Amino acid sequence: MRKLSIINFKGTRRSACCKYYMTYIVPLIMNQPNLCSPLIYIKNHIRGYSSADYRQDVLAGFIVAAVLLPQAMAYALMANVAPIYGVIASLLPLVIYALVGSGRAISVAPVAIIAAMTGDVVFLFPDYPPIVVAYHLSALIGIFLCLLGVFRLSGVSQLLSDSVVKGFTSASVVLIIVGQLRYLAQLDIERGEHLGQTLLNLFSALPQLNGLSLVLGCLVLASLLLVQWRVKALWAKALPLVWLLGLMLVIANSRVLQNELWLVSAFDIKSLDYSHIALSLDLAKQLAVHAVVIGLVIYLESMAVGNELAAEKRERLEPQRELWGLGLANLVAGASLTLPVAAGIGRSALNARSGAQSGLASLVTAAVLLMVLLFMGELMQWLPYTLLAAISIYAVLPLFKVADIWRIWRFNRADGITAVFTFVTVLTVGIAQGLVIGIGVSLLLFLYRSGHPHIAIVGRLGDSEHFRNIERHPVTTYSDVLLIRVDESLYFANCRLVENFVLDAVSRYPESKHVVLIFSAVNYVDASAVETLSLLHHNLEKGGRQLSLAEVKGPVMDKLRHTRFLTTLGESHVFVSVDKAICKLIQVPS
């Protein structure tokens, strides 16, 4: 077989290359329809797209840009990188998601929680420049999310239970606020390895406090909160931009303020130093686990935002396209040498409320930010850090949901323990580590609950065909037939407990000649469970009793048909309903 060349397309080689392309490459692309999303997206949205839709998209794009500009800079500060990188992260990733993602109004850019997690990771690698760690992390997150898309693993977000998310988010808000206090009060301190050390550093540096910076920051924060509380109009969302422009103009003309306040100083994209830029395989290996954790949070947060907005417009979000959209957006963020991005709930909701009809709104937002980056660099250098800190605190306060944790605690103690444990561990050991521990606790509690299933002895409710728990309802029982309902799938962690319950029930009802296991709630059985059922059948037979099954679901029955257990039991002892089992068994002599 001749070696193919993709450089020389003459004669037979060209024919062979075309054949190879049509045989292997085209089917691969066709099996990943999300790669063609831009064309599909444009086709679907051009059809029926009116001039009114265009005007709404342009207006929404300008409004979101007014909100995103100060937010992106503030979130970059959270990630321990220069504010300009937050704006850069709001350009190409926003465009890529607009073309590939399935959420029309979703705005993908830096967000508070992801920026805080990025800052946490940056702190762990002091030997590398912060932006180097950030863009390596972005690229790895993009690769991870794209791999999830390739293997169609959109259900992976189910690892994060609501209790874990609530505890993780609320604790992250506390860490973000404490971390921003040094910029708000202009305290030159090192960040601590944990919350306690950071607070200790803050208190020890209080004599250095800059009163002007603190008063200015608190004034901005108070005005933002007051307007949010009293004014519901759309224009109020642009108040951070008003503060930003106003303060920059005042500081630009005041030598005293320039000397007193910490300023952004360098905001010229042409002056960025890229001499330290390089790809490090060693750093990538160390960041891999962090990228997986942050990638899961990005996907979960973005899906939550997208589903909420899609429900309002009676649309449907496509999880596979979301994986590709978010993955490619973060890959582009890595290629742009900037920090990771995700869907922001406030920004996306504002985009929808502003009338965004398609991804064109995001393209307009990116264009406006690009103009700011190119032509307003000299003005942006007068931006004070205290303003960005105030905007950061204002943005994350709505995410602090201790009341939700209390409601979870009251509803389900196990979920409440998970939420509280996640909250505490995030505060004490770090955001990413605390989240991983919270997921671990959640899974352990799930295994414990599924390993201790609810099992009930049931009887007939009146003259109906319904059977209920004898401890909860006045029911009719049968002396010859013992009815036992298992309310959980059977696997290695709980099958022995079910066996012990049945044998204990038989000892309490010695007159019973038949034991019927009701499988209406059993969705799955593993090999250990089948072995236990075989042993249970053998033990009951030795005691002169017959085991039967009722209401077995199709997928479970399909598995049982391939086992020796069902051959020994006999399909005549598997009943469609409990009522049919009763009618059959009470007529059969023991």
pLDDT digits (tens, 9 = 90+) for 400-446: 888 999 999 999 998 999 999 999 999 998 888 898 899 999 989 98
Sheet containing 467-469: order of strands: 467-469, 455-460, 481-486, 514-518, 546-550, 574-575
Task: Considering only residues 588 and 217, tell me which one the structure prediction assigns the higher pLDDT.
Answer: 217
Q: Which pLDDT band, with edges at 50, 70 and 90, does 13 fall under? A: very low
Mean per-residue pLDDT for 30-38? Answer: 49
At 7, list the tokens: 């450089």
Q: Side chain identity at 529, as an amino acid letter?
A: A
Q: Which pLDDT band, with edges at 50, 70 and 90, does 1 fall under? A: very low
Q: Is 473 helix (H, G, I), strand (E, B) or coil?
A: coil
Lowest-confidence segment of 22-36, 88-102, 138-152, 458-472 by average pLDDT: 22-36
Strand partners, 548: 516
The pTM assigned to this predicted structure is 0.79
A 10 A CB-CB count for 505 gives 16
Count of residues making up the chain = 590
Considering only CA atoms, which of 269, 266, 274 is closest in space to residue 373? 269
* CB-CB contact of 578 with 550 (8 Å): yes
Q: Which pLDDT band, with edges at 50, 70 and 90, does 28 fall under? A: very low
Q: Is 503 exposed, middle or buried (0-12, 13-18, 19+ CB in 10 A)?
A: middle
Could you give the CA distance from residue 102 to residue 96 in angstroms, rounded to a whole number?
11
* CB-CB contact of 452 with 464 (8 Å): no
Strand partners, 467: 460
- How confident is the model at residue 58, as a pLDDT? 87
Element (H, E) at 296: helix 281-312
A 10 A CB-CB count for 256 gives 9
Within 8 A by CB and 6+ apart from 490, the residues are 498, 522, 524, 525, 526, 529, 532, 533
What share of the chain in percent tops pLDDT 70? 89
Could you give the CA distance from residue 373 to residue 500 in angstroms, rounded to a whole number?
70
- Apex 254 CA angle, 253 and 256, nearest 5: 165
Q: Which pLDDT band, with edges at 50, 70 and 90, does 301 fall under? A: confident
Q: What is Dmax (Cα atoms) for the chain?
A: 103
- How confident is the model at residue 346, as a pLDDT? 77
Could you give the CA distance from residue 512 to residue 504 in angstroms, rounded to a whole number?
12
* DSSP category for residue 22: I
At 384, list the tokens: 């004070």
- How confident is the model at residue 285, as a pLDDT? 96
Q: Side chain identity at 290, as an amino acid letter?
A: H
Answer whether residue 18 shows pLDDT above 60: no
Q: Which pLDDT band, with edges at 50, 70 and 90, does 232 fall under? A: low
Strands, E assignment, 342-416:
342-343
Task: Considering only residues 587 and 1, tell me which one the structure prediction assigns the higher pLDDT.
Answer: 587
What share of the chain in percent tops pLDDT 90? 53
Mean per-residue pLDDT for 210-218? Answer: 92
- How confident is the model at residue 4, as a pLDDT? 37
Within 8 A by CB and 6+ apart from 182, the residues are 188, 189, 191, 202, 205
At 87, list the tokens: 């704006």
In this predicted model, what pLDDT tens digit does every residue of 469-491 receive, in sequence order? 999 999 999 999 999 999 999 99
At 77, list the tokens: 């500060």
- How confident is the model at residue 352, as a pLDDT? 79
Answer whether residue 358 shows pLDDT above 90: no
Within 8 A by CB and 6+ apart from 455, the residues are 484, 485, 486, 487, 497, 498, 501
Q: Is 473 exposed, middle or buried (0-12, 13-18, 19+ CB in 10 A)?
A: middle
* CB-CB contact of 41 with 359 (8 Å): yes
Lowest-confidence segment of 11-15, 228-232, 370-374, 508-512 by average pLDDT: 11-15
Q: Side chain identity at 413, as an amino acid letter?
A: R
Show me where the domains of the chain are located.
1-31, 35-186+197-210+221-230+241-422, 455-585
Mean per-residue pLDDT for 110-123? Answer: 93
* CB-CB contact of 532 with 497 (8 Å): no
Mean per-residue pLDDT for 303-309? Answer: 80
Answer whether residue 15 shows pLDDT above 70: no
- How confident is the model at residue 48, as a pLDDT? 55
Within 8 A by CB and 6+ apart from 415, the residues are 161, 162, 163, 408, 409, 445
At 146, list the tokens: 């794209």
Answer whether residue 29 shows pLDDT above 50: no
Strands, E assignment, 402-451:
none
Considering only CA atoms, which of 177, 258, 264, 163 is closest in space to residue 218? 177
* CB-CB contact of 5 with 13 (8 Å): yes
In this predicted model, what pLDDT tens digit does every residue of 560-588 receive, in sequence order? 998 999 999 999 999 999 999 999 998 65
Answer whether residue 590 shows pLDDT above 90: no
- How confident is the model at residue 461, as a pLDDT? 93
Lowest-confidence segment of 98-102, 325-329, 522-526, 539-543 by average pLDDT: 98-102
Task: Considering only residues 319 and 468, tell me which one the structure prediction assigns the higher pLDDT.
Answer: 468
- At 490, phi and psi to the nearest 5? -105, 125
Residue 470, CA atoms < 13 Å, CB-side half-sphere: 13
Strands, E assignment, 47-172:
108-109
Residue 357, CA atoms < 13 Å, CB-side half-sphere: 17
* CB-CB contact of 547 with 536 (8 Å): yes
- The DSSP bridge pattern shows strands 546-550 and 514-518 to be parallel
Considering only CA atoms, which of 40, 171, 194 is closest in space to residue 113? 171
Answer whether residue 145 shows pLDDT above 90: yes
Answer whether residue 283 shows pLDDT above 60: yes
Lowest-confidence segment of 56-60, 139-143, 231-235, 518-522 by average pLDDT: 231-235
- How confident is the model at residue 25, as a pLDDT? 46
Mean per-residue pLDDT for 197-221? Answer: 90
- How confident is the model at residue 50, as a pLDDT? 67
Task: Give the CA dihedral 216, 182, 301, 347, nearest 10 degrees.
Answer: 20
Task: Give the CA dihedral 140, 141, 147, 148, nearest 10 degrees.
Answer: 160
Can you say how many angstroms the Cα of residue 242 is from the centroid of all Cα atoms in its chain? 32
In this predicted model, what pLDDT tens digit does every residue of 502-560 receive, in sequence order? 999 999 999 999 999 999 999 999 999 999 999 999 999 999 999 999 999 999 999 99
Strand partners, 546: 514
Domain 455-585, second-level architecture: 2-Layer Sandwich (3.30)
